[in-house]
């Protein structure tokens, strides 16, 4: 590995910091209007990253030209109300993300700091290091400008959200446990493959048992959804439940409630794509904007 290669990798993985635009509405609650705006900026930065024809390997260690590769994906995980984590890679054999690199963005006292806690190298070079550097710069530029990149699909939504105050509902969001049941002709492996695309933070993943975190991931992690599978006579039975913690702050619980709503819709859709005869029963969850009164 040459000195030049080492230097490029160090630069691509280096810590970077930058200002957050003071025009963002600091006087508003972080988890309402400002949270929406920052979310729009992060999505805008991700959308500006061109992943066309980019491929990742799920194998670590020695590779060759015969090692299979897959189309790369970019995941963004909300870790807390001031920290986000970005993964570039592919879904590995255990249905977890095999990341080429991970970027972690934190915002503290008006300063955005981006670190690279882990990355994979090949012949001393960071895998897709150019994309790592590019995303880091996109994120810092978006937060400094306080507006999406020109031409971004987020521009209209971000502008509208800057002019609105979204206050939490006066009514408490329902808490407690709600049961989920399903019956499918799919095997456990195929069910796991479908559920791996739900797109929420995974807390536990093993054959026949899965748990996802809902909303902001506090140290106690009391808001979650879990599923367990058992097979009998060519039918797989799924049993699980949603849990929303009444002790969580109201705004945190509202975010978890919306995540639960999203999980139910995504899980049913992904499973039904593979098994049209799926029987799926879940709690009725409605969020603001549900005009058709559909089952979540």
Give bridge partners of residue 235 from the DSSP assignment. 232
Contact status, residue 263 vs residue 223, Cβ threshold 8 Å? no
Same domain for 211 and 270, yes or no, is: yes
- CA within 13 Å, CB half, 177: 8
* Residue 73 belongs to some domain of the structure: yes
Same domain for 135 and 190, yes or no, is: no
DSSP character string of 27-89: TS-IIIIIHHHHHHHHHHHHHTS--TT-EE-S--SS--TTS--EE-EEEEEEEETTEEEEEEE
Q: How far is it, in rounded angstroms, from Cα 253 to Cα 185?
A: 34
Q: How far is it, in rounded angstroms, from Cα 194 to Cα 266?
A: 10
* Residue 290 belongs to some domain of the structure: no
Same domain for 185 and 118, yes or no, is: no
Same domain for 139 and 243, yes or no, is: no
CB burial class (10 A; 0-12, 13-18, 19+) of residue 86? buried
Give the torsion through C-alpha atoms of 204, 205, 210, 214, to 10 deg: 40
> Phi, psi (5° rounding) for residue 68?
-65, 145
* Residue 184 belongs to some domain of the structure: yes
State the first-to-last Cα distance of the chain, in angstroms, to the nearest integer: 53
Domain at 21, CATH number = 3.30.530
* Residue 150 belongs to some domain of the structure: yes
Check residue 149 and report its DSSP letter.
P
Q: How far is it, in rounded angstroms, from Cα 96 to Cα 201?
A: 10
* Residue 288 belongs to some domain of the structure: no
Same domain for 16 and 144, yes or no, is: yes
Cβ neighbours of 293 (radius 10 Å): 7
Same domain for 243 and 204, yes or no, is: yes
Q: How far is it, in rounded angstroms, from Cα 178 to Cα 199?
A: 21
Which two structure tokens, joined as six digits, stand for 45? 């930065």
With a CB cutoff of 8 Å and minimum separation 6, the contacts of 201 are 77, 78, 212, 213, 217
Which two structure tokens, joined as six digits, stand for 230? 């058992």
Domain at 256, CATH number = 3.30.530.20
Q: How far is it, in rounded angstroms, from Cα 39 to Cα 32?
A: 11
* Residue 286 belongs to some domain of the structure: no
Q: How many domains does the chain fold into?
A: 2
The string over 234-272, giving b where at least 16 C-beta atoms fall within 10 Å of a residue's C-beta and e elsewhere, is: eebebebbbbbbeebeebbbbbbbbbbbbbbbbbbebbe
Which two structure tokens, joined as six digits, stand for 138? 């996109």
Check residue 126 and report its DSSP letter.
E
Contact status, residue 91 vs residue 74, Cβ threshold 8 Å? no
Question: Is 0.75 surpassed by the pTM of this model?
Answer: no
Cβ neighbours of 58 (radius 10 Å): 17
Same domain for 140 and 202, yes or no, is: no
Q: How far is it, in rounded angstroms, from Cα 90 to Cα 196?
A: 11
Same domain for 119 and 190, yes or no, is: no
* Residue 168 belongs to some domain of the structure: no
**What's residue 168's pLDDT?**
45
Q: How far is it, in rounded angstroms, from Cα 145 to Cα 162?
A: 13
**What's residue 167's pLDDT?**
46
Q: For residue 69, give its domain range.
A: 3-162
Per-block mean pLDDT, blocks of 10 residues, the chain (296 long)? 64 81 52 60 82 83 69 84 86 77 89 90 84 91 74 60 50 65 94 88 88 75 88 92 78 78 89 94 63 33
């Amino acid at each position: 590995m040459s000195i030049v290669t080492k230097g490029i990798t160090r630069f691509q993985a280096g810590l970077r910091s930058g200002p957050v635009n003071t025009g963002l509405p600091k006087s508003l609650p972080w988890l309402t209007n400002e949270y929406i705006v920052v979310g729009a900026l992060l999505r805008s930065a991700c959308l500006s990253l061109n992943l066309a024809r980019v491929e990742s390997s799920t194998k670590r260690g020695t590779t060759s030209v015969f090692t299979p590769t897959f189309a790369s994906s970019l995941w963004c995980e909300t870790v807390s109300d001031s920290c986000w984590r970005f993964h570039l890679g592919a879904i590995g054999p255990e249905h977890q993300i095999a990341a080429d690199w991970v970027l972690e963005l934190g915002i503290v006292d008006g300063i955005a700091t981006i670190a690279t806690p882990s990355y994979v190298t090949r012949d001393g070079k960071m895998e897709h290091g150019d994309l790592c550097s590019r995303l880091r710069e996109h994120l810092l530029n978006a937060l400094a400008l306080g507006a999406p990149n020109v031409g971004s699909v987020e521009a209209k939504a971000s502008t509208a959200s800057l002019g609105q105050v979204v206050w939490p509902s006066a009514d408490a969001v329902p808490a407690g446990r709600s049961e989920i049941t399903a019956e499918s002709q799919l095997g456990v492996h195929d069910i796991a493959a479908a559920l791996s695309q739900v797109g929420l933070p995974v807390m536990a993943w093993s054959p026949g048992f899965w748990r996802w975190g809902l909303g902001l991931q506090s140290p106690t992690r009391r808001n979650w959804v879990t599923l367990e599978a058992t097979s009998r006579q060519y039918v797989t039975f799924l049993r699980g439940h949603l849990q929303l913690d009444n002790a969580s702050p109201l705004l945190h619980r509202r975010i978890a409630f919306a995540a639960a709503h999203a999980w139910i819709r995504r899980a049913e859709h992904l499973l039904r794509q593979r098994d049209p005869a799926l029987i799926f029963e879940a709690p009725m969850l409605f969020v603001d904007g549900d005009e058709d009164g559909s089952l979540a």
